[in-house]
Amino acid sequence: MYEELYEPLPDVDAYLKRIGFTGTPKVNLTTLEQLIYLHQTAIPFEDIDVHCRKVPITLAIRELFDKIILGGRGGYCFELNCLFYSLLQALGFTVTPCICKVLEGEGPHFIASHRGTIVHLNADCYYCDVGFGGPVPPGPLKFENSTLQTIGPNRYQFIKCDNSWWELVRINSKIEPVSMLLVNTEPFDPVDYLSMNMICSDHNSRHHNRFTDHLVLNIRTADGHASIEDDVFTLRIGEKTIRETIDDARAHKLCRDVFCISADLSSIRLIP
Mean pLDDT by 10 residues, the chain (272 residues): 97 99 97 98 98 96 99 98 99 98 80 96 98 91 96 92 94 83 96 96 81 96 95 94 98 98 97 92
Q: What is the three-state SS of 200-240?
A: HHCHHHHHHCCCCCCCEEEEEECCEEEEEECCEEEEEECCE
Q: In what order do the strands lie in the sheet with 45-46?
A: 45-46, 216-221, 224-229, 232-237, 240-245
Q: Is residue 69 part of a domain?
A: yes
> From the CB of residue 103, how many other CB atoms can be counted at a distance below 10 Å?
15
Write the single-letter amino acid at 175. I
Q: Are 260 and 219 in contact (CB under 8 A)?
A: yes
Q: Is residue 173 part of a domain?
A: yes
Q: Is residue 181 part of a domain?
A: yes
Instruction: Write down the pLDDT at residue 239.
Output: 82
Q: Is residue 272 part of a domain?
A: no
Separation of alpha carbons 76 and 47, rounded Å: 6
How many independent structural domains does the chain possess?
Answer: 1
Q: Is residue 264 part of a domain?
A: no
Parent domain of 145: 3-257
Element (H, E) at 120: strand 112-121
- Go through the chain and tell me how many residues it has: 272
Instruction: Write down the pLDDT at residue 167.
Output: 97
Domain CATH for 166:
3.30.2140.20
The residues that are catalytic are 77, 114, 129
Q: Is residue 266 part of a domain?
A: no
Separation of alpha carbons 158 and 140, rounded Å: 12
The CA dihedral of 72, 116, 197, 165, to the nearest 10 degrees, is -170
Write the single-letter amino acid at 227. S
Q: Is residue 270 part of a domain?
A: no
Give the pTM. Answer: 0.96
Instruction: Write down the pLDDT at residue 105.
Output: 67
Q: Is residue 233 part of a domain?
A: yes
Separation of alpha carbons 103 and 116, rounded Å: 14
Instruction: Write down the pLDDT at residue 108.
Output: 73
